[in-house]
Amino acid sequence: MSQFTHHIFVCCNQREPANSRGCCDPSGNEKLRDAFKSEIKKRGLKPLVRANSSGCLDQCELGPTVVIYPQAIWYGGVKIEDVPRIVEETIVGGRVIEELRIPDEQLNCRKK
């Protein structure tokens, strides 16, 4: 059994349109998740890298949101066109893309 080197979670949570908090992306980000899956497959990174849908990552105002574990790299405002770069630079190259990174002090789960 292999262990993942990277597990990518893409927020695919959806709320009712009237919810005051809204969503990362009203379409649910399935296309974003599928783009990660496709890029991972294309580069032959399976089974060590996996991309999955997640429920709410509690970063709605900063989304679409992606978090990569076990490195705990949080990216916000992610677009489909960012996927190849994230895979190349972060997954393959081990570099954080600063302009996409959600700073620790902005992570909702870390607010005091």
| pLDDT computed for residue 38 by the predictor | 97
Residue 8 corresponds to which tokens in the numbers above? 């990518």
| pLDDT computed for residue 62 by the predictor | 85
Q: What does pLDDT average to over the chain?
A: 87
pTM (two decimals) = 0.87
Asked if pLDDT for residue 45 goes beyond 90, the answer is yes
CA distance 35 to 61: 22
Asked if pLDDT for residue 4 goes beyond 70, the answer is yes
| pLDDT computed for residue 27 by the predictor | 62
| CB neighbour list of residue 76: distance below 8 Å, 6 or more residues apart | 59, 62, 63, 64, 65, 100, 101, 102
pLDDT tens-digit readout, 64-106: 999 999 999 999 999 999 999 999 999 999 999 999 999 988 8
Residue predicted with more confidence, 13 or 79: 79
Alpha helices in 9-81 (DSSP H): 30-42
| pLDDT computed for residue 66 by the predictor | 95
- Rounded to 5°, the CA angle 95-99-105 comes to 95
CATH class of residue range 6-110: alpha beta
CA distance 4 to 1: 10
Region of poorest pLDDT, from 26-30, 33-37, 103-107: 26-30
| pLDDT computed for residue 111 by the predictor | 43
Give the pairing of strands 6-11 and 66-69: antiparallel
CA distance 16 to 51: 25
CA-based torsion, 44, 50, 56, 61: positive or negative: negative
